[in-house]
């Protein structure tokens, strides 16, 4: 389908009153377990976790995908609206959103993005989705008649876009929140008609946007839009809630791997097999790879530096040349027998935010006491590689990217009129 609608547009956001933003803001729904969310929301009646993970307000044995969970989510949203905790802006607006984590800062735009452009692949994907997770997001959107979890998008280099958003991110923010993890979330209202028109024009000229995180949310939005289109319902569902950052400002951390056993190999035999495709050098310190094609490996209480031999990297293939693909094709599969990263229970994944010490902690010699036998530290997937895969219409291997800092839920939502 070819889109004739704008790539993005302003919308009448539903957001907390400024003085209550910190009480409402919550981590994304998919980064906490139900038990963790229950603990985080304890004694916090305004926390958006009561909406994004409403099972926390029901008995622990309730199925998280049961109708009463979605009904409670809708009820909790109405409660916050009726109490005036969250209010809706009077006119369609954009919003500037600034995230700060330590010395890293990124500033982007909250908007609604075109479902038609998602369907036509102008808003590009790089992951497969799971039907059960799509179904969950569809039910949530329909129950709330709103999109509350933004999709994280990246835009190509644009000095004009960055200049416009930076100008908007000044003055007094309408939300200024420092979360429990120390990450700062600041939001500014963009309600000036001239600024809105300029932002819309700059983004409409972009050839594409890229999904960084939120493939299930965007796929669910597309399904809801298609269903409502068939019913002749209003077109607000033809757009989905998104936060769009410049690709060059976004921060991808390493997404590391741990494996429970050596697939029957002794440590010596394992190291010998690895050495057939990698240069292996023992290290006296933990190995944090500084460039593509290099890996750290922790086994038998020791770190090793691995460097793939160049002739084993298919440089012309945007997917197979990724470090995560190289490790799978040259080591995890042929040596450790791990073929399906999605389903093999012998492998687990550790976000780089946890550090290399977490890899050491998880590894126990020979996999004893339920620990892992070997860990691999990765170089972060470059944003340019993600975009190349998406441009080629390909899909990245599972657990290829870990974006930090993460967005907050509840600071701005999109109501479907």
Predicted local confidence at residue 3, as pLDDT: 55
The reported pLDDT for the residue numbered 417 is 84
pTM: 0.91
Indicate the length of the chain as a whole number.
Answer: 417
Average confidence score pLDDT of the chain:
94
pLDDT given for residue 221 in this prediction: 97
- Would you give the DSSP letter of residue 385? H
What pLDDT band is residue 232 in, cutting at 50, 70 and 90? Answer: confident
The rounded Cα 284 to chain-centroid distance in angstroms is 34
CA-closest candidate to residue 241, choices 24, 409, 54, 17: 409
Instruction: Give all domains of the chain, ordered by start, each with its CATH number.
Output: 8-17+87-251+404-415 (no CATH), 255-379 (3.30.1760)
Least confident segment among 176-185, 288-297, 309-318, 356-365: 356-365
Characterize 128-165 residue by residue with b for buried, 16 or more Cβ atoms within 10 angstroms of its Cβ, and e for exposed: eeeeeebebbbbbbbbbebbbbbbbbbbeebeebbebb
pLDDT digits (tens, 9 = 90+) for 327-381: 999 999 999 999 999 889 999 999 988 999 999 999 975 544 457 899 999 999 9
pLDDT given at position 369: 47
Instruction: Judge residue 334's burial from the number of C-beta atoms within 10 Å of its C-beta, 0-12 exposed, 13-18 middle, 19 or more buried.
Output: middle
As beta bridge partners, residue 9 has 112
Euclidean distance between CA atoms 416 and 146, whole angstroms: 5
Query: Does 214 have pLDDT greater than 90?
Result: yes
pLDDT digits (tens, 9 = 90+) for 236-255: 899 999 999 999 999 999 99
More confident residue, 231 or 265: 265
Which pLDDT belongs to residue 270? 97
pLDDT tens digit string along 130-157? 899 999 999 999 999 999 999 999 999 9
Distance (Å, rounded) from C-alpha 228 to C-alpha 236?
Answer: 10
Which stretch of 122-126, 255-259, 294-298, 363-367 has the lowest confidence by average pLDDT?
A: 363-367
pLDDT of residue 368: 46
- Strand bridging mode 209-213 / 151-155: antiparallel
Beta carbons within 10 angstroms of residue 89's beta carbon: 17
CA 8 to chain centroid: 20
User: Confidence band (pLDDT; 50, 70, 90) for 4?
Assistant: low
């Amino acid at each position: 389908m070819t889109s004739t609608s704008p790539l993005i547009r302003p919308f009448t956001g539903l957001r907390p009153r400024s003085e209550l933003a910190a009480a409402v803001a919550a981590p994304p729904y998919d980064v906490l377990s139900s038990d963790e969310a229950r603990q985080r929301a304890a004694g916090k009646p305004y926390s958006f976790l009561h909406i994004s993970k409403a099972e926390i307000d029901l008995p622990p044995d309730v199925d998280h995908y049961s109708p009463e969970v979605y009904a409670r989510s809708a009820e909790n949203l109405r409660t916050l609206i009726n109490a005036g905790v969250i209010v809706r802006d009077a006119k369609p607006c954009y919003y500037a959103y600034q995230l700060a984590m330590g010395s890293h800062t990124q500033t982007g735009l909250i908007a609604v993005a075109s479902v038609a452009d998602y369907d036509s692949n102008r808003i590009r994907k790089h992951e497969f989705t799971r039907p059960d997770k799509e179904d969950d997001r569809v039910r949530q959107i329909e129950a709330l008649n709103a999109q509350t979890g933004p999709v994280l998008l990246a835009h190509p280099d644009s000095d004009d876009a960055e200049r416009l958003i930076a100008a908007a991110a000044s003055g007094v923010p309408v939300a200024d929140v420092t979360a429990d993890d120390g990450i700062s979330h600041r939001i500014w209202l963009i309600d000036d008609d001239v600024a809105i028109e300029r932002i819309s024009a700059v983004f409409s000229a972009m050839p594409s946007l890229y999904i960084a995180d939120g493939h299930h949310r965007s796929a669910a939005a597309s399904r809801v839009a298609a269903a409502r289109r068939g019913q002749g319902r209003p077109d607000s569902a033809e757009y989905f809630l998104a936060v769009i950052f410049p690709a060059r400002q976004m921060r991808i951390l390493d997404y590391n791997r741990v494996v429970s056993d050596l697939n029957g190999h002794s440590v010596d035999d394992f190291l010998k097999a690895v050495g057939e495709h990698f240069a292996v050098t023992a290290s006296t310190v933990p190995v944090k790879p500084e460039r593509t094609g290099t890996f750290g490996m922790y086994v038998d209480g020791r770190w090793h530096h691995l460097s793939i031999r160049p002739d084993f990297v298919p440089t012309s293939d945007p997917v197979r040349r990724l470090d995560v693909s190289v490790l799978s094709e040259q080591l995890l599969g042929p040596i450790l027998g791990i073929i399906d990263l999605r389903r093999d229970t012998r492998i687990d994944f550790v976000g780089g935010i946890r550090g290399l010490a977490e890899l050491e902690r998880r590894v126990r010699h020979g996999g004893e006491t339920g620990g892992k036998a070997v860990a691999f530290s990765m170089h972060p997937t470059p944003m340019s590689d993600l975009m190349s895969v998406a441009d080629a219409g390909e899909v990245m291997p599972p657990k290829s990217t870990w974006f930090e800092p993460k967005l907050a839920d509840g600071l701005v939502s999109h109501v479907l009129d």
